[in-house]
Amino acid sequence: MEAKKDFRFWMLFVSLCVACFLSALEFVAIGNALPSIVSDLSEGNEAAGEEFAWLGTAYTLASTAFLPFSGCVAESFGRRVAVVLFLVIFAFGSALCGAAQSMNWLIAARTVQGIGGGAIHSLATIVIADLVPLAERGTYNGFVGLTWAVAVAVGPLISGSLAANNEWRWLFYLNLPICAIALILVILFLDLPTPEGSVREKFSRMDWTGNLIIAASSTALVIGLTWGGVRYEWTSFRVLVPLILGAVGLVIFGFYEAFLAEFPIFPPSLFSNRTSASGYAQIALNMTSTVAVTYYVPVYYQACFDANAIRAGVMTLGMTVTVGVFIVIGGVSVTILRRYRPQIWFAWSMTIIGLGLATTLDEKSSVSKAVGYFTLGGTGVGALFGLIYFPVLSPLPVDKNAHALALFAFLRSFAQVWGITIGSTILSNRLIPRLPTAILENSGGAEPGALVYALIPRVRDLPQPIKDQTRRAFAESFQGVWIASVAIFGAGLAVSFFMADVPLHKHLDRKWSENARKAEKKEADLATSSQERSESSA
């Protein structure tokens, strides 16, 4: 039976949801504000204007590279210290972003913001794992996931409105009072046990070498994946060198963690069973394909349906709302049924059906089909977001929660980069050969990736028959993205069959559980009272 949650728990839960909302909002919202930001900060400097892509990349890179570090801080110094630290870093980065006077300043500030933002969602799941047994956690995780879906839905609208009035700096400044509220609530209500030992002992328990290797390796890989096919050719040494160094670094990291690290970030025991291994593979495959879809669907609507940015956002709402609803439904279903495998198989199937239908779309398809197919796929995408968490954790002991969830968040963040890269590569490679000659002749020698995004806002104003030819080229190119997504979702379904039906934990880690600590204190008080009575009687 689920234990009753008190007022303090709910205030803490609200603060974690607010923090997660801010983190997700900053990840998705900046896109619509980019033209206004670049116009203000480049000031006619063409080189500065070309750096705009780093505004998104810097956030993603920093959040991915420092995610393992956030788990180490939570394990060594305690949950409250970790949450407060990364909320402060996020707020500081937001203030720097709002005050930026140059593009380089803003890119550096986005890096600081990404360090805090990436850690926040991971830490929120760790804290909830400390407070709620796995068997009861589905509902709470569902509502945390819902905050992500809401942020995805409203982020572009908020940023677009602020940018339209040339008030893009408030996209960052508005974070400050909300962060302050979240900080106050965390300080007042997050009262979990603090690890014993001096500061020096706590620092010594952190895997500094492992953190350095994983941060450097993931940074190199993200840089290579971001530049490849967009800024430089995939065969360029500027792309190949960071990709090779990053891949080698990950191999070295795996060897170090398995055989040399005294306090490993990701202990090998996390992969010691097929159910957890299947869960980790599923989250990587799901996020790769999900981001490839959600990132490019609004772009598809603009290129093929004459939609401007606002109308594309409205057309995407059906899918976004469905994702949010099914995040909650997926989580609640686990709480009620105490099972996760049937729901996961159903969710993978729905994504494959929805995206499979989307591969039949062309430039002449109706808007109802173009919106409806992706909305259908959104049922599975949302459910998976709230479900894959369970096969990862159910076979592992509860004292592995922090390490397991840090790795879960790292793979989820890293997979997003792969999703965008795969989509961009397919789109560029398929589009260029299909574009009308007149378009290519007027491209000014732009790189394929840059040409794709520069051309999209112009499609609806092109003269005939070039306009229809261009729309057809985009539709056929996007079909390649949807086909690749179906293939990745299919791989996810195949991997999911390796899961076992492992019962969900009904207890908490006594090291971090406040309820366990209270019970131990009550037992100690009773023992002391009994001893005093015995001594008094004697």
More confident residue, 223 or 493: 493
Kindly state the average pLDDT of the residues 473-481: 90
pLDDT higher than threshold 50 for residue 111: yes
- Report, as an integer, the average pLDDT of 474-494: 93
Q: Cβ distance 136 to 13 under 8 Å?
A: no
- What integer pLDDT is reported at residue 537 of this predicted model? 57
Q: What is the model's pLDDT at position 209?
A: 92
pLDDT (tens digit per residue) in 367-396: 999 999 999 999 999 899 889 989 999 999
DSSP three-state, residue 451: helix
Range with the largest mean pLDDT of 61-65, 215-219, 490-494: 490-494
Looking at the predicted structure, is the pLDDT value of residue 444 above 60?
no
Q: How many CB atoms lie within 10 A of CB 381?
A: 28
Q: If you average pLDDT over every residue of the chain, what do you get? A: 83
- Sequence-distant (6+) residues with CB within 8 A of 447 are 230, 231
Q: What pLDDT shows up at residue 48?
A: 47
Chain length of the chain: 538
Query: Does the structure show a pLDDT above 80 at 54?
Result: no
Given this model, what pLDDT does residue 88 score? Answer: 94
* pLDDT at position 340 over 80: yes
The string over 88-97, giving b where at least 16 C-beta atoms fall within 10 Å of a residue's C-beta and e elsewhere, is ebbbbbbbbb
Backbone angles phi, psi at 232, to 5 degrees: -135, 160
pLDDT at 252: 95
pLDDT: which is higher, 322 or 149: 322
pLDDT in tens, 309-331: 678 778 888 888 898 889 889 98
Say if residue 295's pLDDT is above 90.
Answer: no
Class of domain 270-527: mainly alpha
Q: What is the mean pLDDT of residues 264-283?
A: 91
State mean pLDDT over 232-257. Answer: 90
Which has the higher per-residue pLDDT, 508 or 380?
380
Considering the chain, what percentage of its residues have pLDDT values greater than 70?
A: 87
Report whether pLDDT(44) > 70.
no
Q: Tell how far CA 413 is from the center of its chain.
A: 5
Token look-up 């408030």 returns 170
Confidence of residue 400 (pLDDT cuts 50, 70, 90): confident
List the single range of 54-58, 243-247, 337-341 with lowest mean pLDDT.
54-58
What fold characterizes domain 1-190? Growth Hormone; Chain: A; (1.20.1250)
Full-model pTM? 0.83
For the cut 70, the answer to whether the pLDDT of residue 25 exceeds it is yes
Which region among 164-168, 339-343, 439-443 has the lowest average model confidence (pLDDT)? 439-443
Strands, E assignment, 292-403: none
Inter-residue contact 128 to 509 (CB < 8 Å): no
Percent of the chain with pLDDT over 90: 26
Measure the CA angle with vertex 204, ends 93 and 406; round to 5°: 50
| In the predicted structure, residue 445 carries a pLDDT above the cut 90 | no
Q: Name, in order, each residue with C-beta under 8 angstroms of 450's C-beta and a sequence gap of 6 or more.
A: 230
pLDDT average, residue stretch 135-149: 83
pLDDT tops 50 at residue 49 = no
Query: What value does the mean pLDDT take over residues 42-71?
Result: 70
Q: Cis omega (within 30 of 0) on the bond before 465?
A: yes
pLDDT score of 351 more than 70: yes
